[in-house]
């Protein structure tokens, strides 16, 4: 019984060891969605046999599988640790196990499959993580949906602001803010059952996932009904003040003149 136990433990241990000392590259297995114009971080980790302590990683490469025949070779590189070119593709990993790639200024054309490849100083010891990771660049849209009223927005009208990114990301999050102050709603829809003048302002929808975020703004201008605009003085105050002013300008000099 004891022997069996020991055997199991040894087996488990050796299983762990083989796994961690294999050649490998790990990325998210689901597509990564991101918003055009923003940045995304592509998580990636890699490993190689640690049995030889002298092994050194000499070159790291990321290639785009968009326009080629399925090999991670020279013209497909978007990042090459051996060259110093500046681009939207920035390696933020290391020489040991982290191969995370940051992509800035996302364009629709950046959508596609990417693979990480690394080369060591041991003759013919190189590895490409195949299949790669898929990036999907989408637009973030905020639409205004009128539920009542038409023409300019007026008090009492109802509407929805709907934030939409064409993707099927399960763990994304929508955050709304008004004039840069976060609102207490979550979800892609901001519902206004009856607008007031105070709802005027600029609204921002921010869409977030673990790898990226993006935002989009929309402005609302709500017209008050005549005489009920709380941002202005009521008509009667204006009339009284104007009358008072005319009295001061016209009547007082007249009185003073008459007394002379």
Ligand X SMILES: *[C@@H]1O[C@H](CO)[C@@H](O)[C@H](O)[C@H]1NC(C)=O
Token look-up 């790898």 returns 211
Q: What are phi and psi of 244, to 5 degrees?
A: -60, -45
As measured in angstroms, the least distance from the Cβ of 27 to ligand X is 12
Residue 78 sits in the site that holds ligand X (CB under 6 A): no
Strand segments, DSSP code E, in 48-132 are: 57-64, 77-80, 89-91, 101-103, 112-120, 126-128
CA distances from 188 to 161, 166, 226 (A): 8, 12, 33
Task: Tell me if 51 contacts ligand X by CB under 6 A.
Answer: no
Q: How far is the CB of 71 from ligand X (least distance, A)?
A: 29
Stretch that binds ligand X, among 62-70, 105-113, 183-191, 243-251 (CB under 6 A): 183-191
Nearer to ligand X, 56 or 170 (CB): 170
Does residue 152 bind ligand X (CB under 6 A)?
no
Contacts of 230 (CB under 8 A, 6+ apart): 197, 198, 224
If the CB atoms of residues 10 and 225 are measured against ligand X, the closer one turns out to be 225
Of residues 119, 116, 129, the one with CA closest to residue 59:
119
Q: Is 258 an interacting residue with respect to ligand X (CB under 6 A)? A: no
Q: 140-146 and 159-165: which strand pairing?
A: antiparallel
- Closest separation between CB of residue 192 and ligand X, Å? 9
Stretch that binds ligand X, among 74-82, 120-128, 131-139, 184-192 (CB under 6 A): 184-192
- Would you tell me which residues interact with ligand X (CB under 6 A)? 145, 150, 160, 171, 184, 189, 191, 210
């Amino acid at each position: 019984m004891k022997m069996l136990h020991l055997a199991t433990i040894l087996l488990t241990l050796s299983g762990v060891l083989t796994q961690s000392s294999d050649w490998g590259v790990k990325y998210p297995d689901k597509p990564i969605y991101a918003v055009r114009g923003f940045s995304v971080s592509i998580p990636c980790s890699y490993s190689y046999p640690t049995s030889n302590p002298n092994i050194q990683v000499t070159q790291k490469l990321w290639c785009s599988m968009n326009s080629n025949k399925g090999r991670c070779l020279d013209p497909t590189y978007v990042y090459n640790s051996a060259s110093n070119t500046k681009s939207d593709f920035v390696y933020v990993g290391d020489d040991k196990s982290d191969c995370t790639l940051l992509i800035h200024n996302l364009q629709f054309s950046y959508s596609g499959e990417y693979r990480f490849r690394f080369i060591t100083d041991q003759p013919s010891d190189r590895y490409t993580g195949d299949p790669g990771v898929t990036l999907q660049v989408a637009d973030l849209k905020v639409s205004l949906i009128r539920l009542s009223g038409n023409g300019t927005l007026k008090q009492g009208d109802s509407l929805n602001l709907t934030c939409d990114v064409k993707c099927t990301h399960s763990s994304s999050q929508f955050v709304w803010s008004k004039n840069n102050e976060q609102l207490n709603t979550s979800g892609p829809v901001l519902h206004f059952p009856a607008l007031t003048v105070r709802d005027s302002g600029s609204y921002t929808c921010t869409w977030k996932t673990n790898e990226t975020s993006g935002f989009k703004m929309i402005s609302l201008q709500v017209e008050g009904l005549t005489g009920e605009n709380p941002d202005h003085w009521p008509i009667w105050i204006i009339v009284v003040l104007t009358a008072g002013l005319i009295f001061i300008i016209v009547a007082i000099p007249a009185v003073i003149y008459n007394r002379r």
